[in-house]
Structure 1
Amino acid sequence: MAVPVGRRWEVAAFLSLTVATGLVDAVSYLALGHTFVANMTGNVVFLGFALSPDSGFTIAAPLVALVGFLLGSLIGGRTARALENRVHRWLGFVFVAQALVIAVVALLVGTGVLHRTGGTLYVWILILATCFGSQNATVRRAAPRDMTTTVLTLTLTGLAADGRIGGGKDAKPHRRFGSVLAMFAGAGAGALLLQATTAGVLVLAALAVAIAAAILLFAPAPAETP
């Protein structure tokens, strides 16, 4: 599905979403009991680890994340089909909603309503995983093929296999490098800031998603070729 903004603006928006993924997964993995809310491959592996009583992993948190992610993906898919003829409205609605939900979670964490332990831990995981399930469902339909915003396995494979060293014709791997650097920057910043403030990391993630939403809503359309 064509994104109605210029290519550079489009890439900037999806890189901003990738930064948000790194920030939030830093929170979820480091503060919420070794669980990812955006990268489901890790959660499936953790569920396998949890079969061993001595592994130190539990079933509940990654299972809640998977349920939330699937719920968000369902919502994102239905939203895309409902608004597929109004791309601006579709992208704006999804990412503005995601930014607002993450901001609300940050507020609840900052005011002590949500905690790292106890029952509210799972509420926290469920909400964030739902957000990123919706993001994935949306990005899957709108983003360039090599900009997934959450998973870098295929991105890294493409860098090596499709590049000139690997005998391919990908002479401009900038987007793939950008995705890797954006995820690294988000995760690194999240891990460092988490030592001082969990809510602050979530606020930054909400801001990154809001920036992506603003770009997709208001950036100039692609220049028409004569």
Structure 2
Amino acid sequence: MSGEESCLQAICDLKSRHDFLLFVDEAHSFGLHPERTLCTKLGVTDQVDFVMTTLSKSTASIGGVVATSHAFKTFLQVEANAYLFQAAIPPADVAAIIAAMDVIEETPQLLESLWSKVSYMRGKLCDLGLDVGHGTSPIIPVFIRDSDTLLRMGQDMFDQGIFTTSVAYPVVKHSEVRFRFILNESHSYDQIDRTVDVLEKLGRRYGVIAYEDAPHGADVEMR
């Protein structure tokens, strides 16, 4: 929910000392690294029993994949209701998945561009004193900590042409309510700047950002 990477290596170290099965959900990390998955990036794929990803995010289609050993594959085919009662993915969606994978493989500059924009937006939000958690991924939370303020700010952002997800109670605790921005490579720096600008103005209006946190010489417009 907060875009933070799991401490996967530590979990694998724990697995080496205790006998348990490890299932890793790569829904939000598949396709975001040159190595394609977080497990591969960290070199722990052979220690993971199940690697799952959706095909509705990086590949912009439908369906999902579970990568596992032959023995577990047979087990899932027999025991997993989601597999037993599923329908086949339509050919057009399969073609879209293959095409998306080709783009990921053949244009690494898209990943470089995405990560540059992620670093840029996170940096600008941190400069304002906003709490963006401890993650580094394209999922960027902005913690508001108050449900009423979150909903009011969310509506004001929407009215100014900025759409983001307001993650409120009971999805998270009242003290952890937040906005959840998700960057993709097609977002422009101008769009990022405008989003941060709107957040700054609303953050000051609602007391989320203190005036002393403003960058030196910042021109803050209150409306």
Larger RCO of the pair (alpha carbons < 8 Å, separation 6+): 1
**Is this a same-fold pair by TM over 0.5?**
no
Report which of the two has the higher share of helix.
1
Q: Over alpha carbons, which structure has the higher Rg?
A: 2
Between Structure 1 and Structure 2, the one with more strand by share is 2
Taking structure 1 as the reference length, the TM-score comes to: 0.29
